[in-house]
């Protein structure tokens, strides 16, 4: 377990996107995230998309740090008038409390409520993170998961 004082958030820079791109190439991570781009190996598309996100004032993106090492990313975005949370943690930091600590910190600087989280039905780690941070499971939806090339159930969580 990594101590929470070692985990911090900082504004994301374009330079961070290179590391984020590498994280999201992990096959197990892609499977758990499920709802990924059609081609997660397209670096140009990834960098272009997320560079635009950094310039969008409706999207708040932070880089998760463990000490001086980039451990992941977390962001709030708006889709269909709802604020949603997303995060991605480098696999080597899974199961160490990094996602939970980062989400708690992020929610202290992002006060939009309600805020929603969506997670694949079998991504138990991410479900646990949301629940630890006060999100309640409010429903489920079906959607096509590019990473699995099939329709799957995703759970919908809300923090009021």
d(CA 53, CA 83): 15
Q: What is the pLDDT of residue 135?
A: 98
Task: Report the percent of the chain where pLDDT is more than 90.
Answer: 95
Residues 4, 8, 15, 148, Cα dihedral to 10°: 50
d(CA 56, CA 52): 6
pLDDT in tens, 114-149: 999 999 999 999 999 999 999 999 999 999 999 999
Q: What is the pLDDT of residue 62?
A: 98
Q: What is the pLDDT of residue 2?
A: 79
Q: Which residues of the chain have pLDDT under 70?
A: none
Q: What is the pLDDT of residue 7?
A: 96
CATH entry, 4-159, from 3.40.190.10, 3.60.40.10, 3.40.630.30, 3.40.50.300 = 3.40.630.30
Q: What is the pTM of this model?
A: 0.94
| DSSP line for 39-101 | -TT-HHHHHHHHHHHHH-TT-EEEEEEETTEEEEEEEEEEETTEEEEEEEE-GGGTTTTHHHH
Q: What is the pLDDT of residue 5?
A: 78
**Secondary structure (3-state) at 11:** strand
């Amino acid at each position: 377990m990594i101590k929470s004082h070692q985990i911090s958030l900082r504004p994301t820079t374009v330079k961070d996107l290179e590391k984020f791109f590498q994280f999201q190439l992990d096959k197990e991570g892609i499977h758990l995230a499920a709802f990924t781009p059609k081609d997660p190996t397209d670096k140009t598309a990834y960098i272009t998309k997320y560079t635009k996100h950094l310039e969008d004032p409706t999207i708040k993106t932070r880089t998760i740090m463990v000490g001086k090492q980039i451990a992941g990313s977390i962001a709030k975005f708006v889709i269909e008038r709802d604020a949603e949370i997303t995060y991605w943690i480098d696999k080597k930091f899974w199961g160490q409390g990094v996602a939970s600590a980062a989400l708690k910190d992020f929610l202290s600087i992002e006060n939009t409520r309600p805020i929603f989280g969506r997670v694949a039905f079998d991504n138990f780690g991410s479900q646990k993170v949301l629940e630890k941070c006060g999100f309640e499971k409010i429903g489920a939806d079906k959607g096509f998961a590019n990473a699995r090339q099939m329709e799957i159930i995703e759970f919908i969580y809300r923090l009021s």
